[in-house]
Structure formats: C-alpha cells, structure tokens
C-alpha cells in the first residue's frame, strides 16, 4: 500500500475486489473506464453523508450491475489527483448476481483469474490490493462478531444483569447496525443470552426476516464456565458456509479473537493480549476452512 498523506485527503472513495467462483479458481471483476482508457476495480467517490462501506457496495452495483456482500478489508490506497490527495478504501466482495450494462463510466466488464487481473490492471496500487486479496483467499465462511450496543446503568438496574436492556443510545446504535451489517450479507444471526445482546441485533433480524438463535456458550457466564467449549462453539459456527452475525459481550470477544489470532498460521497484526471491543463494534472474521485468514476491527460509528 502507498504511504498515507500527512493531511486529510481531499477526495475519499471506496471500492471492492469483486469475486465469484463459477468453477475452481476465483474470477475477479475488472471494469474498463473509457474516460481514462484504463482497467481497474469498481470504485468511486463517496456521496454526501455516505460511509465508506456503503459507497463500496453502491459503486459495485453501479459499475458492474452486481449485487454483492462485503468480506475482508483490503486496506487503503493513497495517490494524488488534481483536487489533491485521494484515499480509496477497498474490501473483498462476493458477487451475488446481476447483469452488466455498459454506460458512460464503465463500458466493459471482464471476469478474469488473479494472474490475468494482475496483467490487465492499469495501476500498480491496484495490483498491490489484488495481491492482498490473493493472500487472504476467497472465504468459506465469515463471522461478524458484534459487541452489544450501550446498555442502561448497571448501578441503577436492580433485576438480573442478563435482563438489563439497551439505553436510548444503545437502541440508536442497534438501528445504525441494522443499516451497516446487511452489507456483509448475513445468512444467520445469533446472540448471547443477555437481553442487550438480542436487542442489539433485533432490528437487523426484523429487517432481514431472520430468526435470532441463542448461543449460551458465547455469553460471559457460559463462556467463562467452559472457555474451551465456547471457543469450540465459535469454530463450529465458522465451519458453517456463508455469513453469520454473532452478538456477544466485552468479556468474551477479546478472548475469542485473541485465541483465534494466536492459533492462526499467519500474522494478522493482532496482539492477543490487547484486543479492542468497544460497544457496538464489530470484528469481521474471514475463514478458509478452519483457518482464520483475516480479522478486521470496526469501531462504532463506522466509516
């Protein structure tokens, strides 16, 4: 990746390495832009008030006609444009279907393998993003591990702690999560037993029409009675193909992520003894089989 500028970028954009697997090896979508006569990944500038992740999904749709779901973060690219410094943030994104229609911005779409993509891409910084994608690989599953949103005061709550509800701010955070988490295309939703965990993903579940499965081993009480069983349960969830959202607690998430990162065969840039887990934050955990291939932390509110 290129070195970030010392000042805030004048232009912010987002895009994706869009992939599909019609047979064996994955195919990557590249678009041709007639204005520049170049080949690149689908990407574009943020609209007013738009987050990076929302922009990435929108741009994929506009430039390729494909619906998609985001996966691993692939980092930022920085370069100069006439308006000043530009930042482009990329994700891997699985293509879910659609139809390309040529337009003034992109007049051709090609699905090519990774080697051909490296030859066809017009810019070195895009090749660097492609190499990051290839190093992670296409996932067999993704677990979006969410810490519950802000709850009411522990000191002012007199009933059992598992019944302590979200605060007003927490409900606002849950509504915001319901607009962001669909970008990852959840197939399933699960939550630890406390009410605040279930309520954090309730708006998401309602919007997607999915049930919320209870996971006792991934709540603080159940996990710390049997940590090995809790970690094994998360691995079972990760062994299920597709995308699972799991809402858990601050006493569980750092330990689980730390254990998974420590056991990974690759360096993920995570200190197992210092794993962040702020309220309403997420860890996007990308698996290939049983192996954790990428782990991306996103603190609320998301960019």
Single out the residue in 115, 136, 157 at which a domain terminates. Answer: 136
Same domain, 246 and 280: yes
pLDDT at 228: 97
Q: How many domains does the chain have?
A: 2
> 2 in a domain, yes or no?
no
pLDDT at 1: 43
pLDDT at 197: 98
Q: Which domain holds residue 186?
A: 141-298
pLDDT at 3: 47
pLDDT at 301: 79
pLDDT at 7: 65
Single out the residue in 113, 136, 159 at which a domain terminates. Answer: 136
The encoded tokens of residue 159 equal 């009933």
pLDDT at 267: 83
Handedness of CA 84, 75, 3, 34 (dihedral sign): negative
Same domain, 280 and 160: yes
pLDDT at 2: 46
Same domain, 52 and 79: yes
Cα dihedral 178→182→188→190 (10° resolution): -30
Single out the residue in 112, 136, 160 at which a domain terminates. Answer: 136
Q: Which of 286, 301, 237 is nearest to 133 (CA)?
A: 286
Same domain, 145 and 289: yes
Same domain, 110 and 171: no
Peptide bond into 195 cis (omega under 30): no
Report the b/e string of 171-182 with b at 16+ CB within 10 A: bebbebbbebbb
Averaged over successive runs of 10 residues, the pLDDT of the chain (303 residues) comes to 59 97 92 96 96 97 98 95 94 97 95 98 97 96 98 80 93 97 98 98 98 98 97 98 98 97 88 94 96 94 78
CA distances from 186 to 149, 235, 282 (A): 19, 17, 14
């Amino acid at each position: 990746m290129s070195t970030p500028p010392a000042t805030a970028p004048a232009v912010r954009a987002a895009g994706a390495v869009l992939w599909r697997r019609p047979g064996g090896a994955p195919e990557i979508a590249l678009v041709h832009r007639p204005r520049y006569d170049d080949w690149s990944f689908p990407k574009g500038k943020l609209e007013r008030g738009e987050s990076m992740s929302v922009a990435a999904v929108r741009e994929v749709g506009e430039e390729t006609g494909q619906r998609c779901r985001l996966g691993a973060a692939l980092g930022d690219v920085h370069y100069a444009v006439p308006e000043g410094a530009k930042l482009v943030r990329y994700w891997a994104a699985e293509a879910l279907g659609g139809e390309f229609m040529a337009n003034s911005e992109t007049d051709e779409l090609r699905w090519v393998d990774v080697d051909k993509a490296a030859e066809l891409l017009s810019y070195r910084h895009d090749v660097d993003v492609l190499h990051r994608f290839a190093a992670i690989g296409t996932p067999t599953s993704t677990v979006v591990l969410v810490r519950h949103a802000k709850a009411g005061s522990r000191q002012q709550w007199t009933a059992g702690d598992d019944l302590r509800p979200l605060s007003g701010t927490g409900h606002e955070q849950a509504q915001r999560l319901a607009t962001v988490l669909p970008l990852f295309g959840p197939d399933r939703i699960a939550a630890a037993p406390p009410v605040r965990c279930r309520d954090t993903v309730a708006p998401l579940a309602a919007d997607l029409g999915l049930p919320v499965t209870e996971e006792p081993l991934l709540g603080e009480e159940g996990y710390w009675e049997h940590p090995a069983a809790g970690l094994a349960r998360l691995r079972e969830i990760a062994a299920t193909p597709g995308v699972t959202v799991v809402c858990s607690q601050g006493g569980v998430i750092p330990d689980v992520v730390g254990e998974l990162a420590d056991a990974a065969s690759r360096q993920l840039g995570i200190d197992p003894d210092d794993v962040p887990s702020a309220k309403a934050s997420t860890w996007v955990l990308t698996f290939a089989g049983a192996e954790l291939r990428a782990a991306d932390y996103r603190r609320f509110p998301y960019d």
